[in-house]
Structure 1
């Protein structure tokens, strides 16, 4: 794991990240998307995210092994101290501690931005099946998240209903007045 580099994603990383993401769309209920985004759509997602939040990749010997990014929890200004996290690892890279490396770096950058609360929106199966397990919920629990909301049978994919849960992790205590939110482009990485 010493030779893994966590860095900010670039447009050159988009094909590799899309190759990681596509099986999650096609074969799992981890993503509730039905169709794999185009390369152009994914490039737009990256550019939109990097305008305000970090998008990180884990790289080893020039290969992208996974990625994690933050996005707005809600667009209204009062929520600017909250963010939502997402993470995707190449299927053969799970279980090596890579997810924790990505999230630890992501959380550190978000704290520099003034983010106080980090959320994760996670699909949950009523019963584990070939498309969805509880692995993401277990990972987030190990990372210090706890469940704050449950939405039973709200997502339909692969001809079955799945639940969704919101998990939360407090990154810092709020101050009064709060520290201003700083866009990712303005912090030292």
Structure 2
């Protein structure tokens, strides 16, 4: 399968929301409880894309996944650090789409002077029907390392979930 990576545009909102909404409704991968409206999702793409890389993976001209980074912390000293997000159409998992998106995202971040990427990942032990540890394993394969864990910090589907932070440096810390 030929994958093309490009920057997201607001007109991608409908296709990307179709990818994201099942993660909200059916999983604990995101702690958002209700899928956003199409207008809200379009605003998110515009706001994030104005400041940070927001990438779309296409196969056959159709979006099959997306990844972006956003503000890690509002204070200026954190400008070199961002939080990552990635969502794939379910039939695209395990096909290298996520790896391609993240590789391109890392290059785009380093080119903008961003050094630290942080993945904030929902976590549960043992795995349940709403959440596996696949995201942690994916990030480990991508070179991220575990740097923190918040226990029982989110509640979804009448269950408590943890959150882990994983970190990757994509550029040298100079000066």
* TM-score class normalised by the smaller sequence: over 0.9
Q: State the distance in 2 between where 1:95 and 1:5 align.
A: 17
Q: State the distance in 1 between where 2:94 and 2:3 align.
A: 15
Aligned to 2:42: 43
Aligned to 1:109: 108
Per-residue CA deviation, residues 132-178 of structure 1 (Å, 9 max, x unaligned), is: 000000000000001101001111000100100000001122111xx
Q: State the distance in 2 between where 1:29 and 1:52 align.
A: 27
Q: State the distance in 1 between where 2:157 and 2:7 align.
A: 34
Q: State the distance in 1 between where 2:83 and 2:107 align.
A: 14
CA contact (8 A) 2:11 2:42 kept: no
Residue 62 of structure 1: CA displacement? 1.8
The within-5 A match list for 1:92-131 is 92-131=91-130
Q: State the distance in 2 between where 1:53 and 1:90 align.
A: 22
SS at match of 1:51: helix
Residue 126 of structure 1: CA displacement? 2.2
Aligned to 1:33: 32
Residue 51 of structure 1: CA displacement? 1.2
Provide runs of 4+ in structure 1 moved above 3 Å. Answer: none
Q: Normalising by the residue count of structure 1, what TM-score does the alignment of the two structures yield?
A: 0.91
The within-5 A match list for 1:141-180 is 141-176=140-175
Aligned to 1:132: 131
SS at match of 1:165: strand
Q: Normalising by the residue count of structure 2, what TM-score does the alignment of the two structures yield?
A: 0.98
Residue 90 of structure 1: CA displacement? 0.3
Superposition RMSD on alpha carbons, in Å?
A: 0.7
Q: Which runs of 5+ in 1 are unaligned?
A: 177-189
Per-residue CA deviation, residues 84-117 of structure 1 (Å, 9 max, x unaligned), is: 1100000111000100000000000000000111
Q: Which runs of 5+ in 2 are unaligned?
A: none
Aligned to 2:21: 22
Count matched residues. 175
